[in-house]
Structure 1
Amino acid sequence: MSASDDSGIRVTGSLVIPASELSWRFSRSSGPGGQGVNTTDSRVELMWDAGASTVLSRVQRERLVERLGNRLVDGVLTIAASEHRHQLRNREAARERLAALVADAVRAPAPPRRATKPTRGSTERRLRAKQRRTDIKRMRRRPTD
């Protein structure tokens, strides 16, 4: 799940978002940077139109919209990065964040848990622990005449 080069962003082994589907916007960052902070456009916004993407299958697109629906604006996913002082490092951070977010969203759900009965040993241990607790509380009581 690492960010990639100019050819796009590798999300999973088979899913690669091509660079042609990505758009970038740069602005001034509000963080550290010394004298250059007022002149350097180091903040990065990476936009990807997931709704119109050609690399997603129908199932992947449905999962992505369902899981990231609150982050999508008209089908466009926007990632902002401004934690680094250099635009190049912020670009890399945005690529990595997009790859991780999309990989997590398109991952198939885990199989449902199959209910099982507790083992005899676990039931016995639970009942012994309850009895010990009962005995402790009984010893705390005031003796009756």
Structure 2
Amino acid sequence: MPLAISAGVTIPDWQLQLTAIRSQGAGGQNVNKVNSAIHLRFDIKSSTLPDFYKQRLLALSDHRVTEDGVIVLKSQEHRTQEKNREEALSRLKAMILEAVKIKKSRKATKPSRNAKKRRVDEKKRVGTNKALRGKVL
């Protein structure tokens, strides 16, 4: 079943490399016996994603994207392999959607005359308050 990113963009199964591995950490016999963690690899350059998506993903400065342009995700939160697989796929989808989101550029603004006046008045009020804290003669 292909991974749907948006209405017109999907990633076919053959482009996703999912490997079951043993989880790390505590968990006793279940962790020691069962390959329930999932290691997901997705090659951006050789994928069928639109060029805009590829460029945005390759431009990410994320530790999960290797120099070769491969996204590597590891999921081991859940006890079952299937839940870890779903978790890894949802994290990949979220990562791609976040990368292609166009952020609004910030317009530089200046404070108004009234805002400047309020700031100075507040500074003066605090200053007089502090001056009154001195020793009484």
Q: TM-score, normalised by structure 2?
A: 0.85
* CA distance in structure 1 between the partners assigned to 2:136 and 2:26 by the alignment: 70
Q: Is residue 14 of structure 2 the alignment partner of residue 20 of structure 1?
A: yes
Moved more, 89-98 or 62-71: 62-71
Shift of 1:34: 4.8
**CA-to-partner distance for each residue in 1:23-69, whole Å, 9 max, x for gaps?**
11111223455533332210101111111111222x32121111146
In the alignment, what sits opposite 1:3? none
Give the number of equivalent residue pairs.
136
1:121 and 2:121 aligned = no
Note the residue ranges of structure 2 that are not aligned, 5 or more in a row: none
Please tell me the residue identity of whatever aligns with 2:64. R
For 1:82, the equivalent position in structure 2 comes to: 76
* Number of the residue aligned with 1:141: 134
Cα separation, 2, equivalents of 1:100 and 1:11: 9
Counterparts of 1:1-145 in structure 2, within 5 Å, are 6=1, 8-31=2-25, 33-57=27-51, 59-68=52-61, 70-73=63-66, 74-108=68-102, 110-142=103-135
- AA at the equivalent of 2:100: V
Paired amino acid for 2:15: E
* Cα contact 2:53–2:96 (8 A) shared by 1: no
Specify the SS of the correspondent of 1:114: coil
Q: 1:53 to 1:125 in 2, by over 3 A?
A: same
- Cα separation, 1, equivalents of 2:88 and 2:104: 31
Q: After TM superposition, which residue ranges in structure 1, 4 or more long, deviate above 4 angstroms?
A: 31-34
TM-superposition CA deviations, 1:112-144 (whole Å, max 9, x none): 211222123322211110110121122123468
Structure 1 regions of 5+ residues with no counterpart? Answer: 1-5
Counterpart contact for 1:26–1:42, Cα < 8 Å:
yes
Give yes or no for contact 1:32–1:85 (8 Å, CA) kept in 2: no
Instruction: With the length of structure 1 as denominator, give the TM-score of the two structures.
Output: 0.81
